[in-house]
Chain A
Amino acid sequence: MKILRSMLITSMVVSAAAFADLQALDDSQMSAATGEGLGFALEDFVLDTEGAELSVTGIQSSAGEEIDIKWTSLYVMGEGSEEGSIRTPGQIGSYLHPYVIRSLRGSGGLDPNDPLYNEKYGQINNELALLELAADEYQSDVQNSATFATFSYYQGCVWGQPGCDDLATVGSNGVAVQAITNEIDALNSSRAQIVDTYSLALGALENQMNSYYLSEIVPREATVAQEQTEYDAEVVELGQRLTTAFDAYEAFMAINPGADCEFGQDCTILNASCPVIGGGACRDARTAYNNSYDSYEEQQSVRQDAYNDLIEARKDLAAANNDSESFGPAGSYIEAVNNVEEFKVLCGLDSSDFGSCDGGLITRKGETKDGIESVSIALASGVERRDGLDVGASFEFAVNSVNPDGSTSPRTDYIDINMKGLFIDGTAFRLWSAPDEQGDDELNAEIRLNLFIKELDISVCDPSVCDNDPVAKEASTLNLDNMFVSLNLGYGEIQPMRLSATSDGNFEFELTKLRPGDDVDTSSQEDMQAFYDDYYENSPKSFISISDVRIGNSPDASLGRITVDGLRAQYLKVTSRDL
C-alpha cells in the first residue's frame, strides 16, 4: 500500500518526480487515513499543435464508406488568446485550489457530527475506499463557476464583455436578481392560488381524495379494463370468423367456380347450384361457407355489444374523474389531483400542510437566488472573476454526400470550435468497487461534471473562404453564450453508475435502479416511501443552460435561451450496438 501525500507541483515533470516519494502504508496507518492524495496545478500552461495533423480512422458512413477525418488543430491557452492566435498562458488549478487525485473512505454510516464525516461521500459506506479525481473548488460564489454561470444566465449576457460590464446592472437589485425574484414571485402566486382553492387542510384533502379514488375511480377503472379485455377478445374472434368464412368461400369456389355469389352473399341453389349427382362435397362446402358467414355476422353484433359496453364504462369513468362537484367548490377529482400534485412540485413531495413550503421548487429557486444575489453584490463591489481557459479544435471531414436523386458527390465539411473562457471547477469523478447482484466485484462510479463556457463559437465555413473574409465568417458562426452543463450522475451506493463491456465488444453504461440500503425495511410502505422521498429531495439533479444562441452577432438572429432545469434519471441504461 502506498501513501500519496498532498503536495502542489507546478508541472507534470515535477508531478512525475512526486510519485517517487510513495511510501508503504501499514494497516494501522490505513485506518487513520482521511483523504491523502496528490494535488497538482499546471501554471502558465499552453498547448498548441501548431499545424500538426491527426487522422482519425475507423468511422464509416451508413453505406460502409470510410470517412476521412483530419484533426487539423488543437490549442489550450489562457482566456483572451483570440482563438489561439495570441499565446496567452492559462492556469489549470492553483496553489490554493489544486486538482487532486486521492483515495479516501466513504462517509456513509458516520455520524454527521463526526469530524471525518463529509457530506459529499455520505452515500458511500465508510467501509469502502474510493478513488477521487477532482478539479479545483472555490467557496467564493463569484469564483465558483456553478454559481457564476447561474448568475450569468439570469443576467442574460457574458459578464465582462463590452455591453455587459455596467456595475449599475448588478448589486442587490441587479438584473439577474430581479429576474429570479420575478420567477419566485410567479411560483408563489401559483401556490397561493392553489391554497386559496381549498378550505381543507392538505392531509384531510388527500385522505378525501384517496377514499374517492378507492371507492369511485378504482372500480370504474377495473370495469373499463374488463370491458376492454372482452372487447379485444371479441375483435380477435371476429377476425378469426372472417378468416374462416373467407377460407370456406374460397374452398367452395374452388369446387364450384361457376357459382354466381360474391363473398358476403348467401350462396343458394339459385345462384350457386351443385350437381344433383355427386355434388355432396359441393353442397357441404356451400353450407360450410353460409354457416361460417352467418357466424361472422353474429359475431359482428356481439362485437358491437361489447363496444357499447366499453363505451358506457369509459363514459362512466370519465364522469367520475370529471364530476365538477366531487370536491365542492374546488371541483373535480382530476382538478384536485392536479392541484395537489402542483402544490407538491412547488413546496416538496413530503408536504403535509398547505400553510408551509419548506422544500420543492420554491425552496430550490430561493437557494439559487441567494447565490445569484451573492455574485451580483460582489461584482458591484468590485470583486473580479478569475480568467478561464481558451480551448479550440478544428476538423475536416471528407464525405460522400448523397444527393436527392441518390447519386453521391464528394464533399469536405469543416468544423472549427472555439471555447472562450472555459471552467470545470467543482468537477469530480469517484470510483469504487462493490459487489454486484451476483456477488462479483464491479466498478461503480459517480460523476459531478461542471462545465461552464462563457462563449462557444462553431464555424462550418470553408477556411479558404472565411479566413480571408472575417465579416462572412462572423455572420456564419454559431455563437452560444454562457453555456453551463452541470451533470450529476450517480448517487453513491443508492444509485451507482456502472461501466462495463459486453463479451461481443460493446460497452454498457448503467445508472442502476434505486437500491435501498440494509437499514431500509423493503417490505414497509412507510420506510420505502421515506427512502424514495429522501432520494428525490437529496440526490443532485442536472442542469443545462445557454443564455443566448445566435448566428453572427445580430440580435435578430438570436434564438434566445435554452434551459434544461432539474434533469434526473431514476434509471438509465445505454448499450452500444453495431450499426
Chain B
Amino acid sequence: MKNVLRHPLTIAMTALSLPVCSLEAISDREMADVSGQAFITIDASSYSDGTGEWAGQYEFTKVNLGLDIETLMTIDTLKVGEFERTVGEDGTVPMTDAQGNPVTQNGNLVAHDADLIIENFGLGRVTNYKDAVNASIEEFKIRDPYIELAYKVENGVRKVAGVRIGFSEAQGWLSGDFISLTGNLNGRIEGPASVVYDQNCNGQGTASWLQCIELGLADALGTQLVSTIDLVDGAVGTAGYSYGAGRELNEDGELQNPDSPYLDVPYLKRASWAGVPGGRSFTAPGSALEFIIPALTGSEDCTVTGTPACFPLTNFQSVYVGDESVDFENGGGATGAFVSLQTTSVPWEDFSGIEGSDRVLTQRGAFLNIAKFDSGSGVKYPLNLDLFSATNGTPRQATCVGSLKGC
C-alpha cells in the first residue's frame, strides 16, 4: 500500500492540524491516486571545462525544493557583499550622483560599499493602491526554488566556493531602489526612428544633415529601432564612462569598444547605471534600412546620435520578471534568475534556456542574475523600456496600500 504521507514534515504539519481540523476519511479509490510526496531532491554535478580563473575542478550540490510560492514581500534594505573594492579593479565602477558626476574622497574615485544594495525591495505589487477599500495584491510567483553549493577542489582539499539561491520559474513585479548592482541585468529598449529624428534634427541635436536625411527616411518608413541594454559605467569623464563589461564585436569580428577598461571582466561590479553600452548600436530588424541604422546609432559617451542612452537605475524601480503576456501556469515565468555569493570564481550552470548558454561566470563577491531567458516563444528581457521614458523613468509599482513603498 502506498503511503499517503511519507515525508516527515508533512506528517508534522498534519499532526499539528489534528486537534482543530475536521479530517475526513478518504476512500480506497482516492487512496489509490495518492503517491508518496517527495518535495526535496538532491543533485550532484561536477565541472572542469572552464578556462582562466574558472579552470580547475568544481563540484556542485543542488537541493531542489518542490514548492509553489505566492507572495507580496518587502525588505527595507538588502545589502550583500559589503567589503572593500577598488575602483577600476575587477570591473568595479565609480559611484556617481544622480547626474553621473563621480563621487570622490580625498581626490580618489570611490565605489559603493556593497555589491548589492537595494532599498525598498519588493516582490509582487498592490493594485489600486490609492484605494484602501479595493486595493488588492498581485502576488510574485515562484516555483521550485533551489539552494546550490559550489565547492572547489584544490590539492585534494574541498572548500566552499559559493552558494546561490534561485528559482526554476519566477514571475511578477520586482521593485526596489537599485543603488548598487553586481551581476547581470538585461534589458531591451525600442522606439520608432522618429524619436531619434525629433531629438536630433528639426533644428536641434547633433546629427549631421546626412544622418537626418537617413533618419527622416527611416521615420517615414515607420522603422522600429531596437537595442539591448546592460549595466554600464555612468561616471561622466572617467576612463570607463558609458562602457559595459566584455567585448562588443561587429559583424567583421572587430572590437566595437576597444577603449573600454572592462574588456576582460564578465560583468560590472557595484554599478548604478544601465543603458546601451559604448560601441553597441541600435538595429532595425526587418526594416529596409536594416543595414544603415547600426551605422547611424552607435552608442558613444552614453548618447546615440545625441539621444541619451544611459540612465541611473533608480529611474526604474520596478522590473517585470517573466513574460507578462503569458500566465504563470502556461509558462510565463522567467527561468535562470538567481542571487549568489562566491568566495572565489565559480562557473554556475546557466538555466536561462537560451540556446548555446552553458555557464554563468561569476567572481568573488555577490552576484544578481536578472537576465534574459528563453520563454519557449523567444528570448525575453526583464527590463523593457521605450525611448521616451528611458532617461526620465517611470513610476514604481506600489507594494503598500496608500503608498508606493516604505511599509
Please, what's the 1-or-0 string for B33-73, where 1 marks a CB less than 8 Å from any CB in chain A? Answer: 11111111111111111000000000101001011111111
A461 vs chain B, min Cβ distance (A): 5
A-B contact pairs, 11 of them (CB 8 A): A59-B38, A411-B59, A433-B19, A442-B17, A475-B157, A505-B34, A532-B400, A551-B159, A571-B124, A577-B39, A578-B38
Bound Cα distance from A247 to B139, whole angstroms = 42
Bound Cα distance from A307 to B221, whole angstroms = 13
Cβ-defined partner of A349 (8 Å) among B19, B61, B114, B406: B406
* B254 sits at the interface (CB 8 A): no
Closest residue of chain B to A504, judged by CB? B34
**Ordered nearest first, which 8 A-B pairs have the shortest CB separation?**
A566-B76, A560-B83, A476-B159, A345-B406, A528-B132, A399-B44, A560-B82, A579-B66
Is the CB–CB distance between A576 and B37 below 8 Å?
yes
With contacts A411-B44, A411-B59, A499-B17 known, is A568 near B73, CB below 8 A? yes
With contacts A440-B22, A462-B158 known, is A559 near B341, CB below 8 A? yes
With contacts A399-B61, A565-B75 known, is A443 near B341, CB below 8 A? no
Interface size class of B (residues with CB under 8 A): 35 or more
Residue pairs across A and B with CB atoms within 8 Å: the count is 309
Please, what's the 1-or-0 string for B365-407, where 1 marks a CB less than 8 Å from any CB in chain A? Answer: 1100000000000000000001011001111100111111111
Please, what's the 1-or-0 string for B69-103, where 1 marks a CB less than 8 Å from any CB in chain A? Answer: 11111111111111110000000000000000000
Chain A residues with CB under 8 A of B59: 401, 411, 413
Closest residue of chain B to A432, judged by CB? B20
* A458 sits at the interface (CB 8 A): yes
Closest residue of chain A to B80, judged by CB? A562
Is the CB–CB distance between B71 and A476 below 8 Å?
no
User: Which of the segments A17-25, A197-205, A314-322 contacts the partner chain?
Assistant: A314-322
Chain B residues with CB under 8 A of A558: 83
B153 vs chain A, min Cβ distance (A): 10
* B133 sits at the interface (CB 8 A): yes
Chain A residues with CB under 8 A of B36: 505
Instruction: Report B's interface with A, CB cutoff 8 A.
Output: 3-7, 9-10, 13-14, 16-17, 19-22, 26, 30, 33-49, 59, 61, 64, 66-84, 114, 120, 124, 131-133, 137, 139, 144, 149, 151, 156-160, 191-192, 194-195, 222, 341, 343-344, 364-366, 386, 388-389, 392-396, 399-407
Chain A residues with CB under 8 A of B9: 507, 576
Is the CB–CB distance between B114 and A318 below 8 Å?
no
Is the CB–CB distance between A568 and B21 below 8 Å?
no
Closest residue of chain A to B317, judged by CB? A338
* A377 sits at the interface (CB 8 A): no
Bound Cα distance from A399 to B341, whole angstroms = 24
User: Which of the segments A43-51, A122-130, A276-284, A518-526 contacts the partner chain?
Assistant: A518-526
Is the CB–CB distance between A565 and B76 below 8 Å?
yes
Bound Cα distance from A401 to B46, whole angstroms = 6
Is the CB–CB distance between A337 and B395 below 8 Å?
yes
Cβ-defined partner of B73 (8 Å) among A360, A549, A572: A572
Among A308, A337, A536, find the residue whose CB has the most chain B CB atoms closer than 10 A: A536
Bound Cα distance from A409 to B48, whole angstroms = 14
Chain A residues with CB under 8 A of B78: 563-565
Is the CB–CB distance between B388 and A314 below 8 Å?
yes
Is the CB–CB distance between B192 and A311 below 8 Å?
yes
Is the CB–CB distance between B401 and A579 below 8 Å?
no
Bound Cα distance from A461 to B80, whole angstroms = 26
Bound Cα distance from A564 to B123, whole angstroms = 14
Cβ-defined partner of A58 (8 Å) among B38, B389, B393, B394: B38
Is the CB–CB distance between B341 and A566 below 8 Å?
no
User: In the complex, given contacts A561-B114, A576-B66, what are 9 additional A-B residue pairs having Cβ atoms less than 8 angstroms apart?
Assistant: A58-B7, A67-B42, A311-B191, A311-B388, A322-B389, A404-B47, A560-B82, A579-B39, A579-B64
Instruction: Report A's interface with B, CB cutoff 8 A.
Output: 58-63, 67, 304, 307-308, 311, 314-315, 318, 321-322, 332, 334, 337, 341-342, 344-345, 349, 360-361, 397, 399-404, 409, 411, 413-414, 431, 433, 440-443, 458, 460-462, 465-466, 469, 472, 475-478, 499-501, 503-509, 513, 522-525, 528-529, 531-533, 536, 541, 549-551, 557-579
Among B33, B77, B156, B158, find the residue whose CB has the most chain A CB atoms closer than 10 A: B158
Chain A interface SS verdict (over half): mixed
Is the CB–CB distance between A503 and B40 below 8 Å?
no
Is the CB–CB distance between A579 and B386 below 8 Å?
no
Bound Cα distance from A557 to B78, whole angstroms = 22
Is the CB–CB distance between A499 and B16 below 8 Å?
yes
Is the CB–CB distance between B46 and A443 below 8 Å?
no
A2 vs chain B, min Cβ distance (A): 15
B314 vs chain A, min Cβ distance (A): 8
Bound Cα distance from A525 to B16, whole angstroms = 38
Among A63, A523, A566, find the residue whose CB has the most chain B CB atoms closer than 10 A: A566
Cβ-defined partner of A570 (8 Å) among B17, B74, B76: B74
Bound Cα distance from A475 to B155, whole angstroms = 12
Bound Cα distance from A506 to B144, whole angstroms = 14
Chain A residues with CB under 8 A of B47: 404
Cβ-defined partner of B70 (8 Å) among A61, A541, A549, A573: A573
Bound Cα distance from A252 to B47, whole angstroms = 55
Is the CB–CB distance between B406 and A61 below 8 Å?
no
With contacts A60-B38, A400-B44, A460-B149 known, is A465 near B395, CB below 8 A? no
Cβ-defined partner of A321 (8 Å) among B61, B68, B81, B394: B394
Chain B residues with CB under 8 A of A551: 159-160, 343-344
Is the CB–CB distance between B20 and A402 below 8 Å?
no
Is the CB–CB distance between B366 and A559 below 8 Å?
yes
Chain B residues with CB under 8 A of A63: 43
Cβ-defined partner of B120 (8 Å) among A62, A314, A345, A462: A345
Bound Cα distance from A404 to B14, whole angstroms = 41
Closest residue of chain B to A210, judged by CB? B130
Is the CB–CB distance between B46 and A409 below 8 Å?
yes
Closest residue of chain A to B3, judged by CB? A505
Is the CB–CB distance between A565 and B77 below 8 Å?
yes
Chain A residues with CB under 8 A of B392: 318, 321-322, 332, 334
Chain B residues with CB under 8 A of A531: 132
With contacts A433-B19, A440-B21 known, is A311 near B42, CB below 8 A? no
Is the CB–CB distance between A571 and B42 below 8 Å?
no
Is the CB–CB distance between A570 and B406 below 8 Å?
no
A347 vs chain B, min Cβ distance (A): 9
Cβ-defined partner of A572 (8 Å) among B26, B69, B79: B69
Chain A residues with CB under 8 A of B83: 558-561
Is the CB–CB distance between B46 and A404 below 8 Å?
yes
B360 vs chain A, min Cβ distance (A): 15
Closest residue of chain B to A364, judged by CB? B76
Closest residue of chain B to A548, judged by CB? B83
Closest residue of chain B to A550, judged by CB? B343
A171 vs chain B, min Cβ distance (A): 25
Bound Cα distance from A507 to B61, whole angstroms = 25
Closest residue of chain B to A532, judged by CB? B401
Bound Cα distance from A285 to B179, whole angstroms = 62
Cβ-defined partner of A525 (8 Å) among B3, B132, B144: B132
With contacts A60-B38, A307-B222, A399-B42 known, is A573 near B405, CB below 8 A? no
With contacts A344-B406, A513-B137 known, is A569 near B75, CB below 8 A? no
With contacts A60-B38, A304-B222, A476-B158 known, is A441 near B22, CB below 8 A? yes
A416 vs chain B, min Cβ distance (A): 11
Is the CB–CB distance between A576 and B39 below 8 Å?
yes
Cβ-defined partner of A567 (8 Å) among B74, B396, B407: B74
Is the CB–CB distance between A478 and B21 below 8 Å?
no
A264 vs chain B, min Cβ distance (A): 14
Is the CB–CB distance between A413 and B61 below 8 Å?
yes
Bound Cα distance from A346 to B330, whole angstroms = 41
Is the CB–CB distance between B79 and A461 below 8 Å?
no
B221 vs chain A, min Cβ distance (A): 10
Closest residue of chain B to A405, judged by CB? B49
Chain A residues with CB under 8 A of B26: 503
Bound Cα distance from A532 to B132, whole angstroms = 8
With contacts A443-B17, A476-B159 known, is A572 near B70, CB below 8 A? yes
Bound Cα distance from A468 to B137, whole angstroms = 56
